[in-house]
Amino acid sequence: MMAGSHPRHGLFTKTGAFVLALAALLVAAAPVLAEPRHGLSAFGVLKYPPGFSHFDYVNPDAPKGGRLSMIGAAGRITFDSFNNFILKGDPAQGLGLLFDSLMTRAFDETDAIYGLVASSAEVAPDGKSVVFHMRPEAKFADGSPVTAEDAVFSFETLKEKGHPSLALPLRDVTKAEALDPHTVRYTFEGDLTRDLPLIAATLPLLSKAYYTEHPFKQTSLDRPLGSGPYKIADFKPGTYVTYKRRPDYWAKDLNVNRGRFNFDELRYEYYRDRTLELEGLLSGIFDLREEFTSVNWATSYNVPAVKDGRLIRLTLPDDSPSGAQGFFINTRRGKFKDPRVREALGLAFDFEWSNKNLFFGLYDRTHSFFQNSDMMAVGPPSAEELKLLEPFRDRLPQEVFGKPYLPPVTDATGRNRENLRRAKELLNAAGFKDYQDPREGKVLDVEILTFSPSFERIINPYIQNLKKIGINASLRRVDPAQYERRMKTFDFDVTTQRYTMNLTPSVELKSFWGSEAAGIDGSFNLAGISNPVVDALIDKVVEAKTRDELVTATRAVDRVLRTGHYWVPHWYKASHNLAFWNKFSRPSIKPEYDRGVITTWWFDPARAAELKKK
């Protein structure tokens, strides 16, 4: 997330940490023989061999103990549920720590997972099924075994009753069956089965016994039963939720967990705005915060605690795709159906002025839905891209076959006359007239929805530019709970969000841009994109048999989306800005595709003692 950006509640908060993990793990299996494998990865390549001792980015001898208190997702002010798998309610942060899955992610590979509850997996030669061999020693927190029946129950429940972001990828998983108490098989249909073994492998494992007694579809603050490394300790909605490390966690010594989950206590703090968050950190009320506001990072940490080393400022590289942050335009509304209108909205945003005057020049402009990766389109289409695009030439703008759309660059003076003139021409061509003199035509009303006071400094200059081109633009700030409800039902004109794209994107792209998702409440398709060409090209991404084929297909998707002007792209920075009190240590190697804070850092008693002396 960048300066003043919003977390996507549907992805980052609504379905909690698990959905982030699921979205990151929709990866591909490339089966050749039906033989047991200790891990699965896209196109069949694994970094770690059978019997590996630990991931390279951990300290296998990291001590256990201590507490980490932190701010989680920005903008979260409360919670009313410990169920992060359904559309209803506002779940607490950190719930993914409670649940294990059959396999788990390696964060130094683009798309590899290794055995957790399952010791191995066998993908059928035709790709139509996968069998997982589960470890008999796997236990839920109450000591009951994790069985194949629990895996079957989890699949059936999530597919039938789960959040759309969980249910939609499971559409082509037709059946799960327990072959014996510790062997489970998933069966698939259709031609796009490449990713389905990995989807099955990364589903949370729910206790059938627990959810027989506790209705799954209800929001509740009853502590759920999981099999993961932590359990819920104490909590206060609107203030905090605390997780305690389970010393009896069944998988604490597995190779995939060695050197991980080192804190005895993890506490997520809740504040009503970012100013209060920053004050809380500087006052020592909690330990760690990621700074998403550029003006704060540039000006607000000039305090004695930083100068004398008690409070550390650390910038960590982020090698993941930087995602798609911007003003998303709701094309479900008739006034935004015309792409000329949407292009005009984009021309009115002056990024260069904002970067100079609001962001201290810390950011770069986002151009692509796959920014900061090899998957973004550049230059004219390659011969391979043209093979994918040519069948749709009669349904695509000619611009798709040239260089991909780039937002125009300004001189940062705020005198964006050429872009505004062009925007006004586009609006006139689409039949809209100036709201200040509407006698000769219809007026375009645009309301920008937000819940963040800190983002108003970015929205208000944009609104002034929109008014200059004759749009009756306004800002509507609502409380986070109302914002959440309106996002679920797409009750907005324009809103700001950020999505992150996977290192190996696949079927989850349908949740972001697919026609089916456009009509499903709670989906990630905020713009309401319903384009058969986009659907067909996403299928090409899912069908890809090699990394080169995947990159070609994502670039083709990117070209079509960017030409459609479904959003006004914002900015990105390929790094994490962290501020924390100097009482922690971390491994010498950072996981390439994760911050690593929660799972690989540890409490350092010597540093903590020294901190108290200062």
Q: Note the pLDDT of residue 73.
A: 74
CB count in 10 Å sphere of residue 325: 25
In angstroms, rounded to a whole number, what is the distance separating the alpha carbons of residues 96 and 602? 19
Taken in order 291, 296, 299, 305, the sign of the CA dihedral is: negative
The per-residue pLDDT for range 185-239, each reduced to its tens digit, is: 999 998 888 889 999 999 999 999 999 999 999 899 999 999 999 999 999 999 9
Q: What whole-number distance in Å separates Cα of residue 235 and Cα of residue 246?
A: 17
Asked if 572 and 325 touch (Cβ cutoff 8 Å), the reply is yes
Is it the case that residue 566 has pLDDT exceeding 60?
A: yes
Asked whether residue 11 carries a pLDDT value surpassing 80, the answer given is: no
The model's pLDDT over 377-427, given as tens digits with 9 standing for 90+, comes to: 999 999 999 999 999 999 999 999 999 999 999 999 999 999 999 999 999
Q: Is residue 15 part of a domain?
A: yes
Q: Which of 155, 178, 213 is at the close of a domain?
A: 213
Give me the CATH number covering residue 340: 3.10.105.10
Unique residue bearing structure tokens 């942060």: 93
Q: What whole-number distance in Å separates Cα of residue 36 and Cα of residue 121? A: 5
Q: Would 73 be classed as within a structural domain?
A: yes
Residue 563 lies in a domain: no
Q: Which residue has the tokens 């249910």?
A: 167
- Are both 342 and 199 inside the same structural domain? no
Of 471, 498, 525, the one marking the end of a domain is: 498
Q: What six digits make up the tokens of 311?
A: 């409070």
* Structural domain boundaries, residue 470: 334-367+406-498
CA atoms of 538 and 37, how far apart (whole Å): 28
The upper half-sphere exposure of residue 109, i.e. CA atoms within 13 Å in the direction of its Cβ, equals 22
In a domain, 59, yes or no: yes
Task: Using DSSP, state whether 107 is helix, strand or coil.
Answer: coil
Q: Are residues 187 and 43 in the same domain?
A: yes
* Lowest-confidence segment of 33-37, 44-48, 367-371, 480-484 by average pLDDT: 33-37
Confidence at residue 324, expressed as pLDDT on a 0 to 100 scale? 84
- Give the pLDDT band (50/70/90) at residue 43: confident
pLDDT at 565 over 90: yes
Helices (H), 248-369: 274-282, 294-299, 304-307, 339-347, 351-357
Q: Say what the pLDDT of residue 432 is.
A: 94
Domain membership flag for residue 513: no
- 36 and 168 co-located in one domain: yes
Q: What is the CATH number of the domain that holds 22?
A: 3.40.190.10
The whole-number pLDDT of residue 31 equals: 39
Cα separation values, 555 from 403, 530, 532, Å: 11, 19, 17
In a domain, residue 170? The reply is yes
Q: Which two tokens stand for residue 536?
A: 């067909």
**Which residues have C-beta within 8 Å of that of residue 425, sequence separation ≥ 6?**
none
Q: How far apart are CA 96 and CA 229, in angstroms?
A: 10
Residue 74 pLDDT > 70 = no
> Predicted confidence band at 439 (pLDDT cuts at 50, 70, 90)?
low
pLDDT of 3: 47
| For residues 66-77, average pLDDT | 85
Task: Flag whether pLDDT at 26 surpasses 60.
Answer: no
Find out whether 133 and 121 touch, Cβ atoms under 8 Å.
Answer: yes
Q: Which pLDDT does position 440 carry in this prediction? A: 65
- DSSP structure class, residue 6: P
Start-to-end CA distance of the chain, whole Å, equals 33
Residue 107 has pLDDT above 60, yes or no: yes
Q: What DSSP letter does each residue of 239-260 carry, written as one string?
A: TEEEEEE-TT-TTTTSTTTTT-
- Rounded-to-integer distance, Cα 515 and Cα 330, Å: 14
pTM for the complete prediction?
0.86
Let me know if residue 18 belongs to a domain.
yes
Note the pLDDT tens digit of each residue in 328-338: 999 999 999 99
Could you give the C-alpha distances from 39 to 159, 328, 423, 561, 600, in angstroms and in order?
24, 37, 52, 34, 21
> What one-character DSSP code corresponds to residue 224?
P
Q: What are phi and psi of 220, to 5 degrees?
A: -160, 150
- Residue entry with tokens 């047991």: 36
**Residue 323 confidence (pLDDT):** 74
Confirm if 140 and 225 have CB atoms less than 8 A apart: yes
Of the pLDDT bands very low, low, confident and very high (cuts 50, 70, 90), residue 8 is very low
Residue 25 has pLDDT above 70, yes or no: no
> Which residues, at least 6 apart from 212, have a Cβ–Cβ distance to it below 8 Å?
none
Do 9 and 450 form a contact (C-beta atoms < 8 A)?
A: no
Q: How far apart are CA 161 and CA 448, in angstroms?
A: 32
Per-residue confidence (pLDDT) for residue 18, from 0 to 100:
42
Task: Work out how many domains the chain is built from and give that number.
Answer: 2
Please state the rounded mean pLDDT for residues 252-274. Answer: 95
Does 181 fall in a domain?
yes
User: Are 208 and 340 members of one domain?
Assistant: no
Per-residue pLDDT at 438: 62
CA–CA separation, 287 and 70 (whole Å): 6
Q: Which amino acid is at 297?
A: W
Residues in the chain: 614
pLDDT at 449: 97
Spell out the SS3 assignment of 138-189.
CECCCCCECCHHHHHHHHHHHHHHCCHHHHHHHCCEEEEEEEECCEEEEEEC
Please state, in angstroms and rounded to a whole number, the distance separating the CA atoms of residues 596 and 594: 5
Task: Note the pLDDT of residue 169.
Answer: 87
Q: What is the pLDDT of residue 183?
A: 98
Token pair of 294 as six digits:
């550029």
Do 209 and 338 lie in one domain? The reply is: no
Q: Give 575-603 pLDDT, tens digit per residue.
A: 899 999 999 999 999 999 999 999 999 99
Q: Of 213, 235, 254, which residue is a domain's last?
A: 213
